[in-house]
Amino acid sequence: MEASQRNRVIALAALFQAASLVKDVAWHGRCDPDEFRTMVGSLFSFEASDIEGIYGNVHRLRRGLQALASQLENRGSGNDMELTRYVIGLLFLERKLMKQPHMIQAVREGIQGAERQRDYFDDPTHESVIAALAQTYQDTISQLGPRIIVQGEQAHLSNSDNAARIRTLLLSGIRAAVLWRQAGGSRWRLLFSRAGLLREARALLAH
């Protein structure tokens, strides 16, 4: 993948979209079905010619671009700290994952199993597919630690379908974090390239 600012911003937008949808499910018990489908679909997209193809197109990441731009524009108390915590947690877990080849293989095999379910039901968001992806996250990423503690309404968090959707979204966030790293993203870029990232996010939103 080309290490361009555009690709880095698209990857970050996907990461922020995953985190935003986690918040929606945790607090409201639901999220936008099209945005959810986009994130789930990215887990099965390994033949795309570029990063945009992984998500269909940039327009499908508008929610994430808006969240990213808002976080980059605001500092300190103006930031959504819950969203920031999820994003930082996912970036940290991705770094740990990349150091464990056996765990990467386990994630890959879990996604392949879910892909067979997707093909059988002809629906990437079928409950059996989501359950398989959620189990993959629980058996792999959750074991790396520290676990991402999701805040929300207990009634929604205790619902098994919601829990599965949240774990699936977190897995899609790991996928986005991998893409961020492959595009040349790093902790230092987040700290010192905020202005450039914001300009690119605004340009993508404008188009």
- Using a pLDDT cut of 90, give the percent of the chain over it: 82
Question: What token pair was written down for 22?
Answer: 């986690």
Cα–Cα distance for residue pair 121/145, rounded to 1 Å: 33
Q: Predicted confidence band at 183 (pLDDT cuts at 50, 70, 90)?
A: very high
Q: Residue 88 carries which DSSP code?
A: H
Considering the chain, what is the average pLDDT of its residues? Answer: 93
- What is the tens place of the pLDDT at every residue in 35-71? 999 999 999 988 777 898 999 899 999 999 999 999 9
- Report all structural domains of the chain as residue ranges with CATH numbers, in order of start: 5-206 (1.10.3890.10)
Q: Is the dihedral of CA 69, 72, 73, 77 positive or negative?
A: positive
Q: How far apart are CA 152 and CA 169, in angstroms?
A: 15
Tens digits of residue pLDDT in 90-121: 999 999 999 999 999 999 999 999 999 999 99
CA distance 92 to 182: 15
pTM over 0.85: yes
Query: In the predicted model, what is the mean pLDDT of residues 13-30?
Result: 98
Instruction: Give residue 43's identity as a one-letter amino acid code.
Output: L
Q: Residue 148: what are its φ and ψ, rounded to 5°? A: -80, 120
The Cα–Cα gap between 90 and 174 comes to: 6
Name the DSSP letter for residue 78.
G
